[in-house]
A and B are shown apart, each in its own frame.
Chain A
Amino acid sequence: MKLITAIIPPDRLDHVREALIQADITRITVSRVTGHGRQEDIEYYRGQKIAPNLIPKVRLDIAVNEEFVDTTIDTIIAAARHGGGTIGDGKIFVTPLEQCIRIRTNERGGSAI
């Protein structure tokens, strides 16, 4: 089991979410986060271009069984990229997942995902 954590641009959330659903990966957790990256976020505030320090992003947490790891990663990359890829498209972290428990049934391991 792996925990896939993806940091993606907020405007690509629906693209990624729908692509994941198409790929049969439907169990995801989404949160709004902010952070530093290489990207300078250009926005307009009263006509002035500004570059804020902390950039809003969306974080996806997806627990998957081994056979779904590559599909999940490829799907996120394809849907989160702007065009051929620009700075700010985000990152994906893959970490080993020690245990997964479904609270309702107390099931453990791969079948609980």
Chain B
Amino acid sequence: MGKRLRASLLAVLAVMMAHNSGWAAGTATTDTGTTSWMLTSTALVLLMVPGLAMFYGGLVRTKNVLGTMMHSFAAMVIIGVIWPTVGYALSFGPNILGGLVGWDSNYFMLQGIDEAIMESHIPEYVFAMFQGKFAIITPALIAGAFAERVNFKGYLLFIALWSIVVYTPICHWVWAADGFLFNLGPKGAIDFAGGTVVHISSGVTALVAALYLGARRGYPRNVMHPSNLVMTLMGAGLLWVGWFGFNAGSAIASDLATARALTVTQMAAAAGAFTWMIIEIVHHGKATSLGVASGILAGLVAITPAAGVVPPYGAFALGAIAALICYLAILLKSRLGYDDSLDAFGIHGVGGIVGALFLTFFIRPSWMAEAAEAAGGVWTVWQQLGVQLTAVGVTVVFAAAVSLVLLVIVEKTVGLRIGESDEMSGLDHSMHGEQGYGLINPN
């Protein structure tokens, strides 16, 4: 039985790989400048994942620091395997199933792109790897919502399934040339670098997961102090640096659009941190380091969908608005009492939605003129807002519904919420048999 199953799997693999003939390289040539920048961006986006591990790891209690950092590293491992195997084909292949996802068997194991140079003058390998880093960081963001209380095996299964059935469809709709959100309205739904695909999808899933799994033991009665805010700040710094690859790389170019994206990314991050700092000083009398880190992230998340279309003043505005609304969202969370432990929804979900919607009011006039021309005369801000609302609404509903199904499946099979005793012992001991801060002891 096992042997027959293996044989049939091999046959399927063979069929999938037998499409090589007729797949010739295009006529485009490589541009070394663009390729260099895209290679750099690819590395910068990957740097965000250990950055996120440090950011989240510093925020949990000492007994959960390794378990929490492993959530980010496991995403590099699991999605690192899934993306080149099927993720790229599902995201960037031509429409199948009525446009639900894409599929191109030439992209299976990336075997069909060995000599492909894209029209943007970069080897397709670079594009596939660049996109792969986005696929890695997205499920890792979710882990902030259910920190300190999930089973490692259940988590692995969850992010693997989530990447295939939630991430790749949304990525396909928004970024593939034939995706339906990419073609909504005259110039498409605006999502420059992943407001919907990365931040809203992961943020909404985070909220659903936090509600479904329930609060940590003792929350909110017991105070749960961050184990190491120094590490959290270093993580926030790495995220800021990595975000230049995330946003400025998303132009898939090395030109004016890249420079614009880089500039507005820097400005929104600073505006977000500035706003958060001022709010805290007014509200509490003290600016906290965690507040500054949160403001940086809120600004970066909000500018992500907008980095291609807003001028600098729009970046300032988006960063400030996102910081204010995320701050209120986190206050509201405490009121409502659900345990989104590290504010994955509060920052990424809320910040992503704020960015994707409010960007409409700051689009540079030349973009609107092009949209009007494509629409055959008139295209108003409100019409574009309708397009943005559609993209956000579709992402929220799809991510929430499918994630809930996945959560139930994983919880009922492998188990996602850990037992009470394991939770008290901490993830480091109960899931990994290690301890993160062992060096504090003479050993």
Q: Do A and B bind each other?
A: yes
Interface residue ranges, A against B (CB under 8 Å)? 10-12, 14-15, 18, 32-34, 43-44, 52-54, 56
Of listed A11, A32, A54, A56, residue having the most chain B CB within 10 A: A11
Write out the residue numbers on chain B whose beta carbons fall within 8 Å of the beta carbon of A43: 433-434
How far is B421's CA from A11's CA once the two chains are assembled, in angstroms? Answer: 9
Of the stretches B5-13, B166-174, B423-431, the one at the interface is B423-431
Chain A residue at minimal CB-CB distance from B421 = A15
Q: A43-B433, A43-B434 are in contact. Are A34 and B425 (CB under 8 A)?
A: no
> Besides A15-B421, A43-B434, A44-B434, 16 other CB < 8 A contacts?
A10-B63, A11-B63, A11-B425, A14-B63, A14-B424, A14-B425, A14-B426, A15-B425, A32-B441, A34-B441, A34-B442, A34-B443, A44-B433, A54-B443, A56-B441, A56-B443
By secondary structure, the A interface counts as mixed
Write out the residue numbers on chain A whose beta carbons fall within 8 Å of the beta carbon of B442: 34, 54
Write out the residue numbers on chain A whose beta carbons fall within 8 Å of the beta carbon of B426: 11, 14
Measured between C-beta atoms, what is the minimum distance from A28 to chain B in Å?
15
Q: Is B435 an interface residue (CB 8 A)?
A: yes
Measured between C-beta atoms, what is the minimum distance from A100 to chain B in Å?
28
How far is B431's CA from A36's CA once the two chains are assembled, in angstroms? Answer: 25
Measured between C-beta atoms, what is the minimum distance from A83 to chain B in Å?
11
Q: Is B438 an interface residue (CB 8 A)?
A: yes
Q: Is B440 an interface residue (CB 8 A)?
A: yes
Write out the residue numbers on chain B whose beta carbons fall within 8 Å of the beta carbon of A18: 424
Measured between C-beta atoms, what is the minimum distance from A43 to chain B in Å?
6
Measured between C-beta atoms, what is the minimum distance from B443 to chain A in Å?
5
Measured between C-beta atoms, what is the minimum distance from A112 to chain B in Å?
27
Interface residue ranges, B against A (CB under 8 Å)? 63, 421, 424-426, 429-430, 433-435, 438, 440-443
How far is B63's CA from A62's CA once the two chains are assembled, in angstroms? Answer: 23
B443 touches A52 (CB 8 A): yes
B440 touches A12 (CB 8 A): no
How far is B218's CA from A18's CA once the two chains are assembled, in angstroms? Answer: 11
Q: A34-B443, A54-B443 are in contact. Are A11 and B433 (CB under 8 A)?
A: no
Write out the residue numbers on chain B whose beta carbons fall within 8 Å of the beta carbon of A54: 441-443
Q: List 16 A-B contacts (CB under 8 A).
A: A10-B435, A11-B63, A11-B426, A11-B429, A11-B430, A14-B425, A15-B421, A15-B424, A15-B425, A18-B424, A33-B441, A34-B441, A43-B433, A54-B441, A54-B442, A56-B441
Q: A10-B429, A11-B425, A11-B426 are in contact. Are A56 and B435 (CB under 8 A)?
A: yes
How far is B443's CA from A53's CA once the two chains are assembled, in angstroms? Answer: 7
Write out the residue numbers on chain B whose beta carbons fall within 8 Å of the beta carbon of A52: 443
Measured between C-beta atoms, what is the minimum distance from A10 to chain B in Å?
7
Write out the residue numbers on chain B whose beta carbons fall within 8 Å of the beta carbon of A10: 63, 429, 435
A32 touches B440 (CB 8 A): yes
Of listed A10, A43, A54, residue having the most chain B CB within 10 A: A10
Measured between C-beta atoms, what is the minimum distance from B427 to chain A in Å?
11
Write out the residue numbers on chain A whose beta carbons fall within 8 Å of the beta carbon of B443: 34, 52-54, 56
Measured between C-beta atoms, what is the minimum distance from B433 to chain A in Å?
6
Task: Tell which of B425, B433, B434, B441 touches A12, judged by Cβ atoms closer than 8 Å.
Answer: B425
